[in-house]
Amino acid sequence: MIGKTGLLVLALTVAGCKADVDITTDKAPTAAEARTFVAAVEKDLAKKSVFAARTEWVNANFITEDTDAMAAKVSADMTALQVKYADEARKFNDLKLAPDLRRKLDMIKLGVNLPSPNNKKDNEELAKINASLGSLYSTGRDPKGRTLGQLTKIMATSRDPKELRAAWTGWRTISPVMRDKYARMVEIANKGAKELGYPDVGYMWRSNYDMPADDFRAEADRLWQQVKPLYVALQCHVRAKLNEKYGDKIVPLDKPIPADLLGNMWAQSWENIYDLVAPANSNIGYDLTDLLVKAGYDEKKMVKSGENFFTSLGFAPLPESFWQRSLITKPRDREVVCHASAWDIDNKDDIRIKMCTTITAEDFRTIHHELGHNFYQRAYKDQDFLFENGANGGFHEAIGDTIALSITPDYLKQIGLLDKVPSADGDLGLLMEKALEKVAFLPFGLMMDQWRWQVFDGELTPATYNEGWWKLREKYQGVRAPVARPADAFDPGAKFHIPYNVSYTRYFIAHILQFQFQKAACEMAGYQGPLHRCTIYNNKEVGKKFKAMLEMGASKPWPDALEAFTGVRKMDGSAVLEYFAPLKKWLDEQNKDRQCGW
């Protein structure tokens, strides 16, 4: 996840801030006034964003009532400021302006993640609700006092259905108290969106992709339809193998899969059940976690390895301040937000990560992902403030994941973790492991915001929040609640990105783009073998072109950035299908006599 990539994306805010821009006139606005307005807004927000980021950083690393209060105050003040600027930007709507100026004005209008109405009372209430929701999540424990980290470990390792169900239901006891707060947040934010000229917050979020909101909704569905057959084949095989393990009573073959049996608290990725579903005789030849432990990796060395990948492509090393100021290990003496994130504090060189690192294959990949954000942030640091961001949210998430796709046996040999590259005999195992992580995620990545769009436009009400959540999960994932959910349940709130209001479609797009980037990069490198075996480690020619795309930031519409690296202007799921083609062939053979679908 990205922690901060520019103030307008995260709607972080500054305590006691006051608008430094005041353009009030009864005369018809001019293009010159529009440019003066934008320049003044950029200067003001750039200055105030630094304190905003520091406040949010402290709150994430020292969760107390006091830091919650400070974060709420900060949030309220700058949200009001951003809403003011967004409202003032509307006066230039009918002017014919240069593309870069029009782009910046649109960013000012769309940059408020959760817009508050233009009154102090609602603004302050919205900020307090946001701080409260985040705190409830990050300090949550189940009825036995177990933390999310402890429960996550159970979900990943246990094969006892009773223990899994208890862990699954236990974590969801933290969220019912969120429901009414969340509903009030939706009410206030929608009011703010309407004042800015948008039907609701979901419509605003969909308008952030350089195309009309309805067109983007259709684009997301088009991409899903491209990759859906691969997912359906994977779901069918996984359900059949879980049925073999747990029996018809627990996993019927004609129903969606119970969500507590997939090795992940949210059933968003399934790699922890690899041992139950792996192809026979497809040992990949190594266990990455075991390799890291035996090689004596500690938390810092894990991060150093990620940095080394980027420097091998020609990127400058991370600044010394990164190592001084990042939070890489979980403190023993306080509550922190352990959800991994990358931060850009000053929009220049003060970049950091925050994660409770463990010596595991999962965190090895996560580090490469988070550093992708940091190196992206540093690449576009010389852009104008409003352009200091990813080409779209999906780009920012895809960069590090593209690098993580290069964590192949060949890469592990090059950095000394493997003595020799295993033969291709275990490639089905490699592909299955990756599919359980990447392909399994695709429908979850899509349905999260599908649910929020229905909440924001009123299709779902507080009384139907949970029912709507599980309808979408069954529709897209073929996954169901393992037990009947109580009337007051608010299961969406048990997922970090809901109480923290982080748009999730970016992750779905990232899971398309990373394979598209991988294919383009491997073609640039002249690689001739199967896509899943390709690593771009140490290839400075690919790195040069990669860096050129990152340096564009958000200065151009995302199709321009996509074209700069891949040569095409359209997102395309075909690279996903190419990457997993050998596995899809095998899955179809396994599923030949099975009833797939749900």
Q: Do residues 492 and 477 make contact, with C-beta atoms less than 8 angstroms apart?
A: no
447-469 core/surface letters (b: 16 or more CB in 10 A; e: else):
bbbbbbbbbbeeebebeebbebb
- Reference 329, options 305, 295, 353, 293; nearest CA is 353
Lookup: tokens for 511:
């899971």
Q: What is the dihedral of CA 583, 588, 591, 595, to 10 degrees?
A: 130
Token match 């810092």: residue? 300
- Reference 536, options 264, 314, 289; nearest CA is 314
Which amino acid type is present at position 560? D
Lookup: tokens for 28:
């018809």
Run of H or E residues at 334: none
Q: How far apart are the first and last CA of the chain?
A: 31
Phi, psi of 430 (to 5 degrees): -60, -45
- Strand 257-258 versus strand 341-344 pairing type: unpaired
* Catalytic residue selected from 339, 369, 497, 532: 497
218-242 core/surface letters (b: 16 or more CB in 10 A; e: else):
ebbeebbebbeebbbbbbbbbbbbb
Rg (CA), the chain: 24
Q: Do residues 565 and 520 make contact, with C-beta atoms less than 8 angstroms apart?
A: yes
* Catalytic residue selected from 370, 388, 397, 437: 370
* The length of the chain, given as a count of residues: 598
Lookup: tokens for 101:
């100026």
SS3 labels along 338-401: CCCEEEECCCCCCEEEECCCCCCHHHHHHHHHHHHHHHHHHHCCCCCHHHCCCCCHHHHHHHHH
Lookup: tokens for 214:
């309805």
Does the annotation count 370 as an active-site position? Answer: yes
- Tell me the C-alpha distance between 436 and 513, whole Å: 18
- Reference 54, options 66, 67, 41, 42; nearest CA is 67
As to burial, measured by CB atoms within 10 angstroms (0-12 exposed, 13-18 middle, 19+ buried), residue 581 is middle
Q: Do residues 107 and 52 make contact, with C-beta atoms less than 8 angstroms apart?
A: no
Q: Do residues 129 and 63 make contact, with C-beta atoms less than 8 angstroms apart?
A: no
- Tell me the C-alpha distance between 140 and 147, whole Å: 7
Does the annotation count 497 as an active-site position? Answer: yes
Beta bridge partners of 2: 342
CA distances from 428 to 131, 242, 404, 586 (A): 45, 19, 18, 8
Q: Which residues are catalytic?
A: 370, 497
